[in-house]
Amino acid sequence: MFSRLGAFIGALMALAVIFTAGGAIAEYPKKPVTLVAPYGPGGASDLAARIVSATAPGYLGNGVLVVNRTGAAGVTGSAYVAKGKTDGYTLLLSRVGSQAAVPAINSKIPYKWDDFTFLGLLEQNPFVLSVKADSPYKTFDDLKKAIKSGKKLSYSSAGVGTLLHVAMVIVLDELGLPPDALIHIPFKGGGKAAAAVAGGHTDMLFQNLSGVISQIRGKTLRALVVSTKKRAPTIPDVPTATEVGHPALHVVVGWSGIWGPKGLPKEVVDKWVDVLGKLKKDKAWNKMTKGLGSIPSIMNPADTKAFVKTQFETFKKVAERVGLSVK
């Protein structure tokens, strides 16, 4: 009798544990979620993260705190999330550079491109080649002629091995020139890289439109070409890569997403899929995202992973061809 009673009580306790655990997860998030932006303030990752922070809490049921954890071309912040707790309270504002370009170039970093739980893509953003507003180079053709003439011009990037670095190497490769045809000046983040050009400290940069749209609108930078197949609605007078005779530059496109460490509970994943699905229809999120020159492109986890895999493989091939790979 006592053994049956003990078994019955044990079964009730097991059910209680399951119910409590399920209830705890179902209540996620009980506290604000930290969203790590792996690049500095003012850059594309920071801006995308802050738009999520401003619009997601109403759907999430709690706050989203943006933390800039910078360094090593986005690797520091990315590795912090990849190696962190799997409770859903520390997530990553993923970027094409730190999540596709850098892993494709450098196999020695502490994570691989797929060492994450993919929650969803947020947006895609054209790259734009810009110079200082009063630069003597009025068109892409003007700049191309100067570069090919051997004139030692400089470009800024968000750091060695970042997408802004790789993107300009891709431009030089497309022009039939080696990576050292221009002087590379790395900065800590896209915001500082853009400010360097606007301030006349470097000659150009190939940056996400979202990272330079304010300077273009403020007439401190002049855009010469966009990487997308169609002209960007926010800067409709700027020609596309195809229009200037270099369609291969379409491969260079920025994007943002939200990743977590591998092994996130299904309930956490489902919550964020639901949140992103609602952001997809949210007028404020769409307006702010489009305001940066981005194209809202929210995808589900499976489609996101497939998209990122294609990006990774593309950058890997380019890096191997131009000799940028670190093995």
What is residue 67's predicted lDDT score, i.e. its pLDDT? 98
pLDDT tens-digit readout, 28-85: 999 999 999 999 898 889 999 999 999 999 999 999 999 999 998 899 999 999 999 9
What is residue 10's predicted lDDT score, i.e. its pLDDT? 43
Q: For the domain with range 28-125+253-322, which CATH number is right: 3.40.50.300, 3.40.50.2300, 3.30.930.10, 3.40.190.150?
A: 3.40.190.150
pTM: 0.78
Query: Residue 308 corresponds to which tokens in the numbers above?
Result: 């990122």
Give every residue of the chain whose pLDDT is below 70, as ranges.
Answer: 1-26
Handedness of CA 227, 243, 247, 143 (dihedral sign): negative
Count how many residues are written for the chain.
327
Integer angstrom CA distances of residue 181 from 72, 77, 128, 160, 225:
24, 31, 19, 16, 19
Cis amide bond preceding 29, omega within 30: yes
What is residue 5's predicted lDDT score, i.e. its pLDDT? 34
Q: Largest Cα–Cα distance of the chain, in whole Å?
A: 95
What is residue 55's predicted lDDT score, i.e. its pLDDT? 98
Query: Residue 279 corresponds to which tokens in the numbers above?
Result: 């952001």
What is residue 239's predicted lDDT score, i.e. its pLDDT? 97
What is residue 20's predicted lDDT score, i.e. its pLDDT? 34
CATH topology of domain 126-251: D-Maltodextrin-Binding Protein; domain 2 (3.40.190)
Strands 253-261 and 90-95: antiparallel
Same-fold call for 28-125+253-322 versus 126-251:
yes
Return the closest-CA partner of residue 258 out of 284, 232, 276: 276
User: Look-up: residue for tokens 């997860």?
Assistant: 25
Give the residue extent of every domain in the chain.
28-125+253-322, 126-251
What's the CA gap between 131 and 47, in Å, rounded?
Answer: 22
Bridge partner list, 118: 259
Rounded-to-10 torsion of CA 306, 309, 314, 316: -170
What's the CA gap between 182 and 41, in Å, rounded?
Answer: 26
Sequence letter at residue 131: V
What is residue 8's predicted lDDT score, i.e. its pLDDT? 37
